[in-house]
Structures are given as C-alpha cells and as structure tokens.
Amino acid sequence: MSVQLVRGSGKSVRDQVSPEEWQLRCELAAAHRLVAHFVFVDMTYNHISVRVPGEPNHFLVKPETAYMEQVTASNLVKYDVNGNQVMASEFKASPAAYNVHAAVLKARPDIISAVHTHSPANLAISAQKCGLLPITQQAMRFYKRIAYYKNEHDDITPEGTAHMARALGDKWVMILENHGALICGKSLPEAYIYHHFFELACRAQIGALAGGGELIIPPEAVCEERVARAGRVGVYDSNSRDWTAGMALAEKLFPDYKN
C-alpha cells in the first residue's frame, strides 16, 4: 500500500488515528524515552516497534532522523509487515528499522512488540562466545531461552532480516552476534520490561568478568526453577507495577512525549 500524502488538510496525527492507536503511540514514545534514560542510545540507530490495535499487519516505529529522546506520539511512523509505509507522514523509518521489525512481526504473529538496541553492555555480550551466563537473577530469566544470530547477513535488507526472523525461531530474546540484542514481548510493556532486565544482566556479566575473579555459576536446577518462575512470557502488561512506575516517570521527566 502506498502512502497517500494529503497536503494542507490541517489534520493532526491524533485526528487521523483511533483513540486506541493514539494511546499506544503515547506509550511507545514514552518507552523510547525511558530506554534512553535508563540504558543507552546509539545515535538514531535503536528502535522499538509495536503492532497497531485492530491492524495486526501494521506497526509503529521510530523515525530515522530522531534519537530515542526525541520520539513523540506524532512523529512515530506506520509500516506494514512487508516494509511499506502505510500512513502519510513527513517522517520515515530507516531501512534497518522497518526491515528488522517487519520481518520479525511477519514471521511471528504472537509477537506484539520488539526492542532492538546497541548498548555497550549488550554489544559486549554479543561479542562473547559464551553468550549470556546465568550468573544473576536477571540473567536467569533468560536461561536456555535465548536465540543466537550469526553475523553473516546484511541486516538492513529484507533478505538479511528474513534470516534474522528465522534465527529467532520460537524464542523471544535474541543476541545478534557483534550487533546487540532483540527483545520481544506479547505487549509493549513486556518487551520494554524484559529489555530492561536483559540490559541489567549484560552489565552485571561485563562487570563480573572484568573483576577477574572466579564466577559463581548456579546449579542447573536453580536456573531452571528461576526461569520457570520469572521468565514466563505474557506476564507483564499495562497493569504491571514496573510499567506504571515507568509511565509516571516519563510523565514527570518527558511530558512532551505525548505531542
């Protein structure tokens, strides 16, 4: 579907979308601000996507010219799962953004939201052959539930991102070799919250390895119990205390996210 540009219509983005989509746009903008606040932003190259309510083949993603700190409800852009922009906008997403998210959302109808970042910590883990070790409670949430994607294809192209989607398989978290991480969820709050846990796990591992001492690796039974209890997908939603607290913080620190 091509974008139909309407010049001089005078309609705001809010006027052109459903109340449900506008609310989701606000939440997605807030999620970008919170990731930038707590984690790290690699210039304009990190992004979060979410499916549009009532339009399962359409998703929202960040414009290519904005840092995460600059994302608002109105400047988010809408694409379909084939990588086509489907709503008129003065903005567009980068090929890396829309191709990565289009490929993953097309391959996995159960995924509602995906976060892709290049933080110093997850980049460091993506360069280690051992992957993420279960040495913290945060890391144990992902025990034996991480896909690993080899650095063999161009992740900007539809062909390359199709390989990425296949590598994800039925998992919800993937380490991209030499590239960073992809964290998915059954809701935007879930993808955001699990991304935060994953980031803490990566930072802790880098710190522990840098300390030079012998690592304490918990027994497999402990790891299995922790992942069964804390690593379940579909647990976090808009009523989660972490999401509620995060939205309140965004309201306080970045009230322009709703613009």
* Domains of the chain with bracketed CATH: 19-254 (3.40.225.10)
Q: Which of 215, 228, 83 is nearest to 157 (CA)?
A: 83
CB-side exposure of 22: number of CA atoms within 13 Å? 10
Assess whether pLDDT exceeds 50 at residue 6.
no
Asked which of 97-111, 150-164, 225-239 is least confident by mean pLDDT, the reply is 150-164
CB-side exposure of 48: number of CA atoms within 13 Å? 37
Strand 180-185 relative to strand 55-61: parallel, antiparallel, unpaired?
A: unpaired
Beta strands (DSSP E) in the chain are 47-52, 55-61, 77-80, 113-117, 146-149, 173-176, 180-185
Q: What is the pLDDT of residue 9?
A: 56
The rounded distance, in Å, linking the Cα atoms of 219 and 179 is 30
* DSSP helix/strand/coil, 243: helix
Contact 60, 76 (CB under 8 A): yes
The rounded distance, in Å, linking the Cα atoms of 125 and 149 is 13
Positive or negative torsion for Cα 239, 245, 250, 251: positive
The pLDDT tens digits of the residues spanning 58-100 come to: 999 999 999 999 999 999 999 999 999 999 999 999 999 999 9
Give, as one character, the DSSP assignment of residue 85.
B
Q: What is the pLDDT of residue 5?
A: 34
Q: What is the pLDDT of residue 4?
A: 35
Assess whether pLDDT exceeds 70 at residue 2.
no
- Which whole number is the average pLDDT over 204-225? 97
Contact 202, 130 (CB under 8 A): no
Q: What is the pLDDT of residue 10?
A: 66
The rounded distance, in Å, linking the Cα atoms of 88 and 101 is 19
| 161 burial level (CB within 10 Å; 0-12, 13-18, 19+) | buried
- Which whole number is the average pLDDT over 104-118? 98
Q: What is the pLDDT of residue 139?
A: 98
Edge-to-edge strand order for the sheet containing 173-176?
77-80, 55-61, 47-52, 113-117, 180-185, 173-176, 146-149
Q: What is the pLDDT of residue 231?
A: 92
The rounded distance, in Å, linking the Cα atoms of 174 and 194 is 12
Positive or negative torsion for Cα 176, 202, 112, 57: negative
The rounded distance, in Å, linking the Cα atoms of 140 and 103 is 28
Assess whether pLDDT exceeds 90 at residue 244.
yes
The rounded distance, in Å, linking the Cα atoms of 77 and 227 is 35
